[in-house]
Structure 1
Amino acid sequence: MVRFRLLAVIGAVCLSAARPACALDPATSISQYSHTVWRAGDGLPDNFVQALLQTKDGYLWIGTAEGLVRFDGLQFTVFDTRNTPALRHNSVVALCELRNGALWVGTSGGGVTTYENGRFTGALTTSNGLPNNYVRSIYETRDGSVWITAHGGGLVKINGGRILTYTVKDGLPSDSLRLVYEDRRGTLWVGADEDGLCSFRNGRFRCFGRQNGLTSNQIRAMHEDRAGRLWVGTRAGGLLLFDGARFRLHRPPGHSSNLAVRTILEDSDGNLWIGTEGAGLYRLQKGRFDAFTARQGLPHSFVRSIAEDQDGNLWVGTRGGLCRLRDRRVETWTTSEGLLNDNVRAIFEDKDGVVWIGNTSGVNRLVKGRLLPVRLSPEWSRDVVRAIAQSRGGTIWIGADTGLFSWRGGHVRRFPGDLKGPPPRVRALLEDRQGRLWVGAEDGLFVVEGPEAAEYSRVAGLPPGSINAIAAGRDGSLWFGCEGGLASYSGGAFRIYTSR
C-alpha cells in the first residue's frame, strides 16, 4: 500500500505531521521530475480532482466531481451515491481526518458524510444542524473543534456535539465563506468568497481588506510557513505575504497581480507550491518561481489540490486528472531549461566534461547543470547543427547546415573565413590519427589538413551524394556512411560496399 503525507490542501483538508523520507530534489527543475497522470480512463470516475488527503492508514483519498475515490497505490475504489447511500452527493470538495481517525467528507449539495472503522455513517445536513448543504471546507483545530464553511451559511463550529454558527451579525465580513485556517498562535483565519479575510481570537473577529494591502477580496488559500509567516492566495490578486500589518504581493515574472491562486502547500524542504486557476503549478524557492504547466505534462493548468507523500512525491489534483511528480535518474532538458530548440540532432562530450548539444537553432553547452547558448551566425535560426567533434588541440568543430564552425576560448569562427560560394551542409565530423578533420557533407566528403589549414579539400573516389556518418576503426581505417553505400578508407585508397 502506498503511504502519503498531506502537507496542505487549503480549504479542503487537514494537515499531517509526519515527514517524508526523501523530498523532491529542490535543485531540480519541476519539468525534470518524472510525472505520471491518472484520468477517468485509468480508474478515476471524473477528471476534476477537487480534494486530496492521506489518512493514517496510508490510503490516498481523492475527491472528484463524480464521487469519492480511495487509492492504495495500485487500484482505485470509487464510492458514490449509487453504491454508498450515506453519501448524499457525488461532488466531493473537502476532506478532513479528525484526531479520532474519522474521515469527514464534504460535498457540494449533500452536506457532510463521515467514514469511520471501515464504514460510511450518517450525514450532517440542513436536516440536523448544517445551515447549508454546499460545503466549502472542513477543518479541525487543536482544541478538537471542527469548523465548516458552507456557501452562504456562515461559519459553523462543532464541538462535543454542539453546533454553533457565526454570521455577519457576529462580525464576519460575509456569510459566504471559503476556508478556515489556524496558525501556530491559535488564531483562526477565515477567508471569504468575495469580502476579504478576517482573524478570530478571544471571541472577536478582526477584518482585513484592501486598506491592509489585499489585492483581492476573493480568498482561496492560506498557509503559515515554518517561519511563522502567513501566505494568502486570492482568486484575482495573486499570492500575498502578511507581515503582521499589511499584505505584500509576490508574483512570478511575467504575471500580473491578478494571478488566481487556488491552493498552497509547503513541502518538507520548506519550498512553497502554489496551485493556480489556469496558470498551472508554481514552486517558490528562495524567492525564485519555477513553473509546471500543461505544456510540460501537467494534465490541466487548473490546479485544485496538492499533497506530498511519505516518499517525498508530490500529488497534484487538476481539472484534467491526477498527477504525481517524483524524482528520477533520467534528467531532461528542454527550452524551459534554456535549450535553444527541443529538436536535438547531435550530442558530444569534450575533454573537460562539457556536453555540447546540437539542435535546429544552434548549439548549447551543458556546464555544471546549466545550459549556455552558442550562436554560430547572425542567421542562427537556420543553424541546424548535426555534428560536433574536438581536435587533439582542444578546438571544438561544429557542423551545421550553414557550414563548418570552430569554437575556442569562447570565440566562434566560420571555416574558412574567406568562404566563396555556398558553404557545405555538414552531416558528420571526425578527426583521424594524423590530426586531419574529415567533413561529411550533403554534397560529398571534405578534409581539413591539420589545425593550420585555411581551406577544405574535396575528396574524390566516393559514391555521389551525402556523407551521413564517419567512424574510425581500431587499425586506423576510416568508414563512411554514404547515400550510395558504405565506404572504407585505408592505405590511401577507398573501397566501396553496396547492396549490389
Structure 2
Amino acid sequence: MLLLTYRNAIAMKKRFFPLLMELIVLQLFLSGQNVYTPLQNSEFRRIMLSDGLAGSVIYSFLQDRTGNMWIGTGNGLNRYDGYRMHTYKHLKNEAISLSNSRINSIFETKNGDLYIGTDKGLNLYDPESDSFTLLSFTSSYSIKFLLETHTGALWIGTNMGAICYTPQTGNRKHYYQGAKTDSLPGNYISCGITDDEETLYIGTTYYICKKSPGEESFVSMTLPAPTPGRE
C-alpha cells in the first residue's frame, strides 16, 4: 500500500507540475508582469563607424581588468575607455604596430598580459608604450583562439595546428597534421576549452581532440560529417 501511494504521488507530481507552470506563466501574462523587467529601462547605444569603430564586422570582444573594452574587427582593433575610441591598425613601416588589421581573437591572461590574435600572427600589447610586439614564431599563422592553462601555458589555435607556448620560458611545441609525433587529424583549430581537471579539448574540422594532463598526444573524437550544403 505504501509503495502504491508513493507511485501515485509521483504520477500526480508529473501530471500537475507542467500544469502549475502553465498557470504561473498565464498569471504573469495576464498581470502584465515581465520576467525580464530589469532590461525594460535599459538603454542600448549603437557604436558605429562614425563613432570611430574600425570596422563594421566584429570578430572578437573583451573587457580587460581595467575596464577598457577591446573590439576586434576586420579592419583594425579598437580600445574604448568609456570616453574615447582608440584605433590600432597594421602600419607597413612601423614594427610596433599590429602585424595585421584583421583581429580574430583577444585574450587577457591571469597576470594581465593582453594578446591580440590576427590573420598574420599573435601580438602582445604593451600598455606603457601603447604598442605591440609580434611573437615572431606565429607570423605566418592566422590566430583563431587563445586559451591559458592553470600553469600559465598559452594554447594558440591557428589555421596550421595548435601551439603550446610558455611565456615565462619561451618554450613552445607545435601540434599539427602530418607531424612525426603527436600529430593532429586536422590543422584548422577553431576553438578550445579546458575542464575542471585541466583536460584540454580543441576543435578541428570534423574532430574534437582531447589531451589529458601529463599526456603528450591528443586523442581524436570523431564527429558526424556535415550534411552537404549545411556546413
1:221-268 residue CA offsets vs partner (Å, 9 max, x unmatched): xxxxxxxxxxxxxxx8xxxxxxxxxxxxxxxxxxxxx5x8xxxxxxxx
1:112-147 residue CA offsets vs partner (Å, 9 max, x unmatched): 11113433242113xxx2373211112111110011
Alpha-carbon distance in structure 1 between the residues aligned to 2:222 and 2:38: 34
Alpha-carbon distance in structure 2 between the residues aligned to 1:34 and 1:215: 43
Asked if 1 retains the 8 angstrom alpha-carbon contact of 2:122 and 2:139, the reply is: no
Asked if 2 retains the 8 angstrom alpha-carbon contact of 1:97 and 1:103, the reply is: yes
Report 1:15-414 matches (<5 A).
27-28=35-36, 34-82=43-91, 85-86=95-96, 87-109=98-120, 111-119=121-129, 120-125=131-136, 129-130=137-138, 132-151=140-159, 153-159=160-166, 160-168=169-177, 169=179, 170-192=182-204, 194-201=205-212, 202-203=214-215, 204-210=217-223, 214=224, 216=226
Alpha-carbon distance in structure 2 between the residues aligned to 1:29 and 1:181: 34
Asked if 2 retains the 8 angstrom alpha-carbon contact of 1:199 and 1:206, the reply is: yes
1:363-417 residue CA offsets vs partner (Å, 9 max, x unmatched): xxxxxxxxxxxxxxxxxxxxxxxxxxxxxxxxxxxxxxxxxxxxxxxxxxxxxxx
Alpha-carbon distance in structure 1 between the residues aligned to 2:165 and 2:127: 21
Asked if 1 retains the 8 angstrom alpha-carbon contact of 2:124 and 2:132, the reply is: yes
Asked if 2 retains the 8 angstrom alpha-carbon contact of 1:131 and 1:150, the reply is: no
RMSD of the alignment, in Å?
2.8
Which residue is equivalent to 2:24? none
* Secondary structure at the counterpart of residue 117 of structure 2: strand
Asked if 1 retains the 8 angstrom alpha-carbon contact of 2:206 and 2:225, the reply is: no
Distance 1:182 1:132, change over 3 A: farther
* Secondary structure at the counterpart of residue 44 of structure 1: coil
Alpha-carbon distance in structure 2 between the residues aligned to 1:132 and 1:197: 24
Normalised TM-score (structure 2): 0.71
Give 5+ residue unaligned stretches, structure 1: 1-25, 217-235, 237-257, 261-500
User: How far off is 1:30 after superposition?
Assistant: 11
Distance 1:48 1:56, change over 3 A: same
1:27-63 residue CA offsets vs partner (Å, 9 max, x unmatched): 2289956432111112102111111111111111111
Alpha-carbon distance in structure 2 between the residues aligned to 1:79 and 1:57: 18
Following TM superposition, where does structure 1 have runs of at least 4 consecutive aligned residues deviating by more than 4 angstroms?
29-33
Alpha-carbon distance in structure 2 between the residues aligned to 1:69 and 1:39: 12
* Secondary structure at the counterpart of residue 144 of structure 1: coil
Asked if 2 retains the 8 angstrom alpha-carbon contact of 1:149 and 1:156, the reply is: yes
Distance 1:39 1:121, change over 3 A: closer
Normalised TM-score (structure 1): 0.34
* Secondary structure at the counterpart of residue 137 of structure 1: strand
Asked if 2 retains the 8 angstrom alpha-carbon contact of 1:101 and 1:116, the reply is: no
Read off the aligned partner of 1:66 and give its amino acid letter. N
1:408-459 residue CA offsets vs partner (Å, 9 max, x unmatched): xxxxxxxxxxxxxxxxxxxxxxxxxxxxxxxxxxxxxxxxxxxxxxxxxxxx
Distance 1:107 1:30, change over 3 A: farther
Instruction: Give the number of the structure whose residues are more often helix, by fraction.
Output: 2
* Secondary structure at the counterpart of residue 45 of structure 2: strand
Alpha-carbon distance in structure 1 between the residues aligned to 2:139 and 2:71: 25
User: How far off is 1:65 after superposition?
Assistant: 1.0
Q: Which has the higher contact order (CA 8 A, sep 6+)?
A: 1
Residue identity (%)? 23
Which residue is equivalent to 2:31? none
Alpha-carbon distance in structure 2 between the residues aligned to 1:163 and 1:100: 19
